Every structure is written in C-alpha cells, then in structure tokens.
C-alpha cells in the first residue's frame, strides 16, 4: 500500500546529527575526521511512496570538478523557491517529507545533495560550503524575479548560515530559516562525546580537534540585513535548544525565534508549524533591501528572546 509524501510521517525516517555510537565518534575524533558530520547511505526511502508532483534531477559542477546531483520538486505554478539543506544522515530520499508539502503551496523546492551521498567523493565542511555557494549563485541567476529562501535543518542549518553569510549575492535572497542547527562543531562534538563514559573521559581534548573555522555562531551576524528565522524545540535530544539560543543571540536584526515542539527536525511534521512557516515566507516575499517593515506573523514576537 502506497503512502502519500505530503502526509506527516507517523515515524520520522531520518537519523539525528550523531546517529552513530559514541565509540565511533571517539575513533573519528582521534583522526580529526570531519566525516563524523556526514553519515550518508544509499537506501531509497521512497519505495512505495506516492509522489504527486514532478521531480527533476539537476547537476551542478563543483569548484574542483566533481558533479553533484540534486532534486527539484516542481509545483504547477511557482510563487517562490526554497533551497533546502538536509541533516547529516541518510540522503535526500529520507528528508523529502520535511519540504514536499511546500510544493502544493506553490514553492519550487531545490533539494541540495552533499558530495559523498550519491557520489563517492569524500565530503568535508569546507568543500560543502563551496558547493552550496556555487549552487545558490546559479539558482539566483536562473530565477531573478522569484523570491528565494534558504532552509536548513540540523547540519544543513549550520552549513546554510556559514555559506550564505559569505555569499557575494546574498542580497538577492529573501530570508534564511534554520531548524535545530548547532552553533559550533566543537560544542556539539563535546556534548556527544560526553554521552558515553569512554568518550566522556576525553571530551575536552578531542572536541578541540574540530575546527571552529566554519562555526555558524561566528558567521550568523554577517547575514544581516537578510531576515533570519531560528526554529528549535526544547524536546530536541540530538541538538539541544541552547544551540538555537546561541545562534539567535549572536545574530543581528532582522531575526525571529520560534520555539517549536517535537523531536529533532520534526517541527514541520506538525501542521500548525507548517502554517507558521508559510506565514513567514509570505511576509518576506520582497527582494529589495533595506528590509521593508515586517508584517506581523501569528505565533511570533518581534525582538523575542528564546526561552
């Protein structure tokens, strides 16, 4: 029996940021390997799933000559574009439920896929940021008249902040949204290493092996005047909510914070938060800067503080 991709998942199919064991984290950290943050697999999570809209495969070429394949989820009539960066585990087929519902509301969804997920190239944070920036630049050139938004979940949210903050044509974007993004690689590594007795003994020195060069917390202030929406849930056991609070505090205006519900990157399985995100997108359709006066959005308070 087929299920509909537009329906909220009863059981999320994705993994968390650190879905592997702490012992694996220990071994990877010793080798100072950033692959800890990338855990792809080749499973097709869409078997037996009904997809009521076209999916187009598109290819981009990286700065070092590799070819990456991404997906475009295409609506009947396009009102805006959402550039989506998923979490660290599995592949885009496992994360499509997070954004597929946007298609019926007129959004063209660009699902970016990291190197090493479909291809055999080894991913790194530095290379991924470069890949994202090239793809965004191409997308902006292709759709100059449409509002373009960037949405990242978990690792994808952290990468989105750092990538967009350094993007030369970021003024062409309308807003950036993150859900469950972490503030720093060292910080999240230290927390995960503390979860088991073996790795907890070495959490301080091992976590320092992770570079802070691309921490979202260091770059988030550079997004301004691009509007930022930070979404985080107190129920998140993978990336604790203090990461969202740190990012919000470090960001400059215009910024908003949405305290949501549910586990890691499961906010948008709840219809009421889908409505809130749609309202945010519709209130930020203008591509002109400086930012125009914001339309009040139900569920938000301007200058609100995370709690």
Predicted confidence (pLDDT) at residue 183 exceeds the cutoff of 90: yes
Residue 14 counted as domain residue: no
> What was the pLDDT predicted at 205?
57
Which helix (H) or strand (E) segment holds residue 24: the answer is helix 22-30
Q: What is the rounded CA–CA span in Å between residue 293 and residue 6?
A: 33
For 65, residues 6+ apart whose C-beta sits below 8 A from its C-beta are none
3-state secondary structure of 255: strand
DSSP 295: P
Whole-number percent of the chain with pLDDT over 90: 61
Looking up residue 89, the CATH number of its domain turns out to be: 3.40.50.1820
> What was the pLDDT predicted at 96?
93
Per-residue tokens: 269? 């399985």
What's the whole-number mean pLDDT along residues 19-47? 61
Q: What is the rounded CA–CA span in Å between residue 238 and residue 242?
A: 12
Cβ count within 10 A of residue 44: 10
DSSP 306: P
On the CB side of 262, CA atoms within 13 Å amount to 20
> What was the pLDDT predicted at 186?
84
Residue 104 counted as domain residue: yes
Predicted confidence (pLDDT) at residue 168 exceeds the cutoff of 70: yes
Cβ count within 10 A of residue 38: 19
Find residue 4's DSSP bridge partners.
50
Predicted confidence (pLDDT) at residue 295 exceeds the cutoff of 60: no
Residue 16 counted as domain residue: no
Per-residue tokens: 29? 């950290």
> What was the pLDDT predicted at 203?
54
Residue 140 counted as domain residue: yes
pLDDT digits (tens, 9 = 90+) for 127-144: 999 999 999 999 999 999
> What was the pLDDT predicted at 17?
40
Residue 28 counted as domain residue: no
At 188, the pLDDT band (50, 70, 90 cuts) reads confident
| β-pair type (49-50, 3-4) | parallel
| Alpha helices, DSSP H, located in 96-237 | 125-142, 155-165, 185-193, 197-200, 203-207, 216-219
At 173, the pLDDT band (50, 70, 90 cuts) reads very high
3-state secondary structure of 261: coil
What's the whole-number mean pLDDT along residues 267-292? 83
- Please tell me the total count of domains within the chain: 1
Residue 44 counted as domain residue: no
Range(s) of the domain holding residue 243: 52-183+214-282
> What was the pLDDT predicted at 291?
42
- Using only C-alpha atoms, the chain has a radius of gyration, in whole angstroms, of 18
Q: Nearest Cα to 214, choosing from 166, 251, 168, 253?
A: 166
3-state secondary structure of 22: helix
Predicted confidence (pLDDT) at residue 58 exceeds the cutoff of 90: yes
Per-residue tokens: 47? 């078997």
> What was the pLDDT predicted at 214?
94
- CA dist 134 to 32, 62, 172, Å? 27, 7, 14
Cα-to-chain-centroid distance, residue 152: 2
Contact 161, 181 (CB under 8 A): yes
Q: What is the rounded CA–CA span in Å between residue 236 and residue 180?
A: 8
Residue 196 counted as domain residue: no
**CA dihedral sign of residues 196, 202, 208, 210:** negative
Return the higher-pLDDT residue of 177 and 45.
177
> What was the pLDDT predicted at 190?
79
Residue 6 counted as domain residue: no
Instruction: For the chain, give the mean pLDDT.
Output: 83
């Amino acid at each position: 029996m087929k299920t509909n991709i537009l329906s909220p998942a009863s059981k999320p199919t994705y993994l968390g940021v650190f879905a592997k064991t702490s012992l694996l984290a220990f071994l990877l950290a010793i080798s100072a390997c950033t692959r800890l943050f990338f855990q792809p697999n080749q499973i097709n999570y869409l078997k037996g799933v009904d997809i009521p809209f076209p999916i187009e495969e598109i290819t981009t070429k990286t700065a070092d000559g590799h070819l990456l394949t991404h997906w475009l989820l295409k609506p009947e009539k396009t009102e805006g574009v959402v550039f989506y960066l998923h979490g660290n585990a599995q592949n885009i087929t496992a994360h499509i439920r997070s954004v597929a519902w946007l298609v019926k509301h007129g959004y063209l969804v660009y699902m970016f896929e990291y190197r090493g997920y479909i291809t055999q190239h080894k991913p790194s944070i530095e290379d991924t940021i470069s890949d994202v920036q090239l793809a965004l630049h191409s997308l902006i050139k292709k759709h100059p008249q449409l509002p373009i938004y960037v949405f990242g979940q978990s690792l994808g949210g952290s990468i989105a902040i750092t990538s967009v903050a350094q993007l030369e044509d970021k003024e062409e974007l309308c807003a950036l949204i993150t859900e469950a993004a972490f503030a720093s690689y060292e910080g999240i590594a230290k927390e995960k290493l503390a979860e088991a007795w073996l790795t907890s003994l070495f959490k301080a020195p091992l976590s320092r092996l992770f570079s802070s060069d691309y921490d979202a917390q260091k770059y988030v202030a550079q997004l301004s005047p691009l509007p930022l929406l930070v979404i985080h849930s107190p129920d998140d056991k993978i990336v604790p909510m203090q990461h969202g609070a740190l990012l919000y505090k470090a960001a400059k205006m215009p910024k908003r914070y949405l305290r949501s519900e549910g586990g890691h990157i499961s906010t948008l399985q709840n219809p009421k938060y889908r409505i809130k995100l749609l309202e945010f997108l519709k209130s930020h359709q203008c591509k002109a800067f400086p930012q125009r006066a914001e339309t009040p959005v139900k569920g938000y308070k301007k200058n609100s503080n995370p709690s």
